[in-house]
Amino acid sequence: MDAIGLGPGMVVGEVGAGQGRFTVHLAARVGPAGKVYANDIDGGGLAHIRERCQRDGTTNVETVLGRVDDPLFPRDSLDLAFMILTYHHLSRPVDLLKNLAPSLKPGAVVAVVDPDPVKDSDRAGHESTSKEEIEKDAAAAGYELVRLETFLSRDNLFILRLKPR
């Protein structure tokens, strides 16, 4: 969370939140002054997140049922968009990135954590994302790769930002 610059009071859009394994950690980090929009295309996973947040008293999470090509986050709302172990599942990553852009505040970043095809050779080719692949998709969607972090044992952290217009 430090590497992506996540801090108190931020508004985060989590793409592909699933059942909220990371959502609750994001919510704790941004605190009561912040907010997490937990997005997925699976309503069942989002129901699980809502139930868990209610049970745990977490009040700064809002679920968003999206589409495969659009997370449907509110316009101009996000300080940070976050995808963890999700990118390689996207069937239309360029479209999703393009449709994510209107939700980003000026200067916001998109942080993507995904398995490295070399460090995690079991997933290479089918459940991983290479630097070249993310750079190609990012450029096609109007973003640039501004930083690549390789400190994770099996995954890479890609930091994307919209290209200046």
Backbone angles phi, psi at 67, to 5 degrees: -120, 165
Token pair of 86, please? 């999700």
**pLDDT tens track of the chain, all 165 residues?**
888 889 999 999 999 999 999 999 999 999 999 999 999 999 999 999 999 999 999 999 999 999 999 999 999 999 999 999 999 989 999 999 999 999 999 999 999 999 888 887 776 566 888 899 999 999 999 999 999 988 998 899 999 999 987
Whole-model pTM? 0.92
Domains of the chain, start order: 11-162 (3.40.50.150)
Q: What is the pLDDT at residue 74? A: 97
The pLDDT score that the predictor gives to residue 63 is 98
Provide the pairing of β-strand 155-162 with 104-115: antiparallel
Angle at 112 between CA 108 and CA 133, to 5 degrees: 115
- Strand 35-40 relative to strand 11-14, pairing: parallel
Residue 11 and residue 35 in contact, taking contact as beta carbons nearer than 8 Å: yes
